[in-house]
Structure 1
Amino acid sequence: MSALRIEGFVIVSADGRLANAHNVMPDELKIDGDKRFFTAALDRADLVVHGRHSQEEQPNAPKRRRLILTGKVAATAPDPTNPKALLWNPAGCPFQTASREAGVTSGMVAIIGGPGVFGMFMDRYDTFWLSVAAKVRIPDGEPCFPGVPARTPQQVLSAHGLHAGEAQLIDAAQDVSVTPWRRVG
């Protein structure tokens, strides 16, 4: 058993999108209740993993160790713009090696996107926190996971062995809930 706990985090529109057609998270998905939930989760994370378009805008962001996925390095390399970050090419280096090189061998790893990054870890999540903004639709937007929109995000998570827990309302005014999807067994 790994000493790393893999947890995913995303907020999606009612139609399973996390960004608009230009790969930008629209303001309609920047919801206060989800921001508070996401910030608290990342404050507990030992390592944050994301692609080049995914980012966080919290005050503690510069303090966090992170892996940034890229094809521009052979395996891993220091990020020239962030001393806490390591550029990582999954084709040239396994995740366990990259996380060790980032200085993290135990604790919680927060996977924060984008779709390809989420897909890489689909069979490894211990918990995936799916926030849904029920009032928001982005018909031509970027799907949150590979396989969406042919399937819903919930169907994708279920197909990978994750089971929905009890949803929590995190922003009543915007009708946003978060559901933990956990691997059982």
Structure 2
Amino acid sequence: MLANADRVMPDELKFEGDKRFFTAALDRADLIVHGRHSYEDQPNSPRRKRIVLTRTIGSIAPDPSNPMATLWNPAGASFEAACDQAGVHSGTVAIIGGPDVFEIFMDRYDTFWLSQAPRVGLPEGEPCFPGVPGHSPQEILAAHGLSAGESQMLDIADGVSVTAWRRMSWRKV
């Protein structure tokens, strides 16, 4: 789960090590993509170029409340068109969710960083992906062609870790 039943990330799911990892990754990204309920709320947030998924518009539009943001309805335009509108033509894209956003990109990820806090339970919470809890996040990532790679411990005291799930690229020799 990535949020409680109210779609809010509770304090018990916030860990300093995870926050540092997340912040560093966003600082390296050329573009942030998220749903209208997600926002990283960090000091560098206003400087980050972003695409915000929404159903309130037909296709693509500038965000009137944020000059660094482009609003995008995937039903009305391609991701490439949204990137073009945002002025981003190459680089690293960070997809920060939520579950509907993650699902859109599931077959496009090069790497998905799955953080886990095994000592926190949110039984009625918002799942990280559609299909959870019927399937584990790991099963869903594997079903989309991603394989678990290296893991890093982010918070030893609370057992919080992050694992890189990477797309296998096959080359003929």
Alignment TM-score > 0.5, same fold? yes
Residue 105 (structure 1) aligns with: 89
Using the alignment, how far apart are the partners of 1:25 and 1:49 within structure 2? 18
CA root-mean-square deviation: 0.6
Counterpart of 1:57 (choices 12, 35, 41) is 41
Shift of 1:173: 1.7
Larger-Rg structure: 2
Deviation at 1:100, TM superposition (A): 1.2
Alignment of 1:24-103 (within 5 A): 24-103=8-87
Quick one: distance in 2 between partners of 1:114 and 1:28? 18
Query: How many residues matched?
Result: 169
TM-score by length of 2: 0.96
Specify the alignment match of 1:166 in structure 2: 150
Q: What is aligned with 1:130? A: 114
Deviation at 1:147, TM superposition (A): 0.9
Q: 2: CA distance between counterparts of 1:136 and 1:92?
A: 38
SS at match of 2:158: coil
TM-score, scaled to structure 1: 0.90
The share of aligned pairs that are identical, in percent, is: 67
Query: What residue identity is the alignment partner of 2:94?
Result: A
Distance in 2 between residues matched to 1:58 and 1:29, nearest whole Å: 17
Q: Deviations over 1:124-173 (max 9, x none)?
A: 00000000001101000001001110000011000000000021101112
Partner Cα separation in structure 1 for residue 101 and residue 133 of structure 2: 17
Relative to its length, the structure with more strand (as a share) is: 1
Q: Secondary structure at the match of 2:100?
A: helix
Query: CA shift at 1:178, angstroms?
Result: 0.3
2: CA distance, partners of 1:50 / 1:57: 12
Asked if 1:23 is matched to 2:7, the reply is yes
Return the alpha-carbon distance in structure 1 between the equivalents of residues 21 and 158 of structure 2: 14
Structure 2: runs of 5 or more not aligned: none
